[in-house]
Chain A
Amino acid sequence: MLRAWSEKQSRSLIGKWFGYKSQDYRLLFIKASCEDGFVKLEYILEKNGYIESVDVDIPENSTIPSVVQVFPEGAQMQREIADTYPVRFVSKEEETDFEKEQNDFLLVEWGPFHPLLQEPVFFRFLAKDDVIKKAYTETGYNHRGVEVLCIGEKIPHALDMLERISSVNGFSVGLAFLLAVEKINHIIVPDKANYLRLVLNEMSFLRANLYSLSHITKCLGLLSDNSAIFKLISLFNEAASLISDDSQLKGILVPGGVKYDIENETLLQVNAILQDMVHELTSIRNRWNSTRFITERMSNIGKIDKSIARVMTGRAARSAGIAEDTRKLSSLPYHVLSYKIPVADESNCFTRTMLMFDDSLLSLSLIEQAIEIMPRGDVNAFSGLKHKGETIIREPEAFGELAICVGVDEGIVSNIKIRNSSSLNFSFLDNLMIGTDLNELPLLIASLDLDLSAMEK
């Protein structure tokens, strides 16, 4: 039986949230644990690098107010907790009874496995004249329990798992984890290793953006462009093969730096191969920009209001004119490179896709700049993992901001919580789908850059 929290307790919690919201705090993540019949929830809030937390202890099988009414970006994190722990979140919005409403609308179910879905998600729609009136998404098909598996593991083992969490953002997750471990253990990474990490990180962004573009071309039915993008991915793989056997660049990162030095000549070769992409990417971008069929079709799909985009991350926010620079958060030497974050005026499918091209070109430019000023010296300064502590790291990933909370005790992972960009952006998907034509849905989902494997872990 579910026990509800008292009115007074609920009001006090909502009051605290509103207090932080009014001071422009953002919800970074929600941590949960279960002990002695109590579920402990920690709402971690952030503003300009300052971290605050709101802690709540609730008895098992209780209902508490939903954070969505104050921080809508927390919907997916909350859903994940409700699936894992004996607690239920109650919001004012009533849940849709799909069976009841079938008389007025057409009930359509899609997924969880389909060629136009990059990852498994299950959708239920109520549609009228092929236009979606209500939508409901169900996740969990990707869940592997990576966070739980990492606890109690040694750092290299946990790193191996985290690098395999997602093919597009695995490198960034592994890197953020290592940066947290190094921060706790006061390890100072040599300059060259930092520059190499930056180059590899940008290469992983480039790969992720190319895969996103390939999926967009598939949804648009542009097979020749799809083939052209895959040729660019082959080019990327050729460049990556000079550095590592693995195109996802797994196994290069180690605590204290990188596993092996990469010669400057090799880096120049890598750069020469990668820069060949610039011409092709620019020409596809220009062609799409001047093709009426593409601009008109895509501009009308997936419009995001600026007020919503403000709490989203990545291209969804930047295409609405919010110049979010996630690279500024990083401890890698991005500050010495010259770059301008691509932004657009209105967030829709077309502008987000154009930003995919711009972001790929930006990554290529940053790789070139970093290789040009690559310092000499050691690439590893590992000095042992003896300290104990917990820290929160915010790093860029290909699709937005990545936040990771890591606890380490003498080289063993004691706690880990990952929140990638999709955890924020996915919360708005249900509402974004309303008013969309059923046949435009794959395009809308593809333009949002959802990385569900890293979101569901």
Chain B
Amino acid sequence: MKWLNKIRIRSISVYVVQAGGCRDCALQFSMALSVNSKKKGITVTGNPKHADCLLVCGCINEKSKEKIIEIYDKIPYPKAVIAVGACACSGSLFRRENSQLYAAEEVLPVNSWIRGCTPGQAEILEAIVRAMEMVKETD
């Protein structure tokens, strides 16, 4: 199935989960897709069954945690999970003891972390491509 994986690396469908947060990471990603000419075949999908990659932005609270796990389970293998921004990577300023907020890696097996508030557009695109390459090589 190597040939199929090669094609899938060149055409990546991303499911964006905008969990609780300021939504700038998700906006940066939309902007990267719209403006960046080197977007490398990345598209956004609204159906997890069509997705290759799950992009998690923002802090995950108790309520969104269940839904995110549900979405992750629906994405077919091989799949990559990318945590975008300080909120998804570590909870940023909002995460305290007993605040019931989770970093993405506490909820899902994260393949790649893009730190920063707010991360750059090129970094997000690059991380998606690399994570997919990595996932499909190990598959």
**Number of A residues whose C-beta is below 8 Å from B?**
40
Q: Which of B30, B58, B94 contacts A149 (CB 8 A)?
A: B94
Tell me if B64 and A120 are in contact (CB < 8 A): yes
Q: Which residues of A contact B23 (CB under 8 A)?
A: 118-119, 166-168, 453
Smallest Cβ-Cβ distance to A111: which chain B residue: B67
Residues of B in contact with A, size category = 35 or more
Within 8 Å of chain B (Cβ to Cβ): is A102? no
Q: Which of B21, B30, B34 contacts A142 (CB 8 A)?
A: B21
Tell me if B63 and A141 are in contact (CB < 8 A): yes
Tell me how many residue pairs across A and B have CB atoms closer than 8 Å.
103
Q: Which of B20, B46, B58, B99 contacts A114 (CB 8 A)?
A: B46
Within 8 Å of chain A (Cβ to Cβ): is B5? no
CA distance A146 to B100 in the complex (A): 12
Please classify the interface of chain A as helix (H, G, I), strand (E, B), loop, or mixed, using the class held by over half of its residues: loop
Could you tell me the distance in whole angstroms from the C-beta of A169 to the nearest C-beta in chain B? 9
Smallest Cβ-Cβ distance to A234: which chain B residue: B35
CA distance A230 to B27 in the complex (A): 10
CA distance A115 to B27 in the complex (A): 11
Q: Which residues of A contact B53 (CB under 8 A)?
A: none
Q: Which of B16, B26, B63, B96 contacts A140 (CB 8 A)?
A: B63
Q: Which residues of A contact B44 (CB under 8 A)?
A: 115
Within 8 Å of chain B (Cβ to Cβ): is A396? no
Tell me if B92 and A453 are in contact (CB < 8 A): no
CA distance A144 to B63 in the complex (A): 11
Q: Which of B34, B68, B92 contacts A227 (CB 8 A)?
A: B34
Tell me if A170 and B35 are in contact (CB < 8 A): no
CA distance A125 to B59 in the complex (A): 28
Tell me if B67 and A145 are in contact (CB < 8 A): no
Within 8 Å of chain B (Cβ to Cβ): is A143? yes
CA distance A233 to B24 in the complex (A): 13
Tell me which of A118, A120, A167, A227 has the highest count of chain B C-beta atoms within 10 A of its own C-beta. A120
Within 8 Å of chain B (Cβ to Cβ): is A441? no
Smallest Cβ-Cβ distance to A112: which chain B residue: B67
Tell me if A145 and B71 are in contact (CB < 8 A): no
Could you tell me the distance in whole angstroms from the C-beta of B97 to the nearest C-beta in chain A? 11
Tell me if B64 and A141 are in contact (CB < 8 A): yes
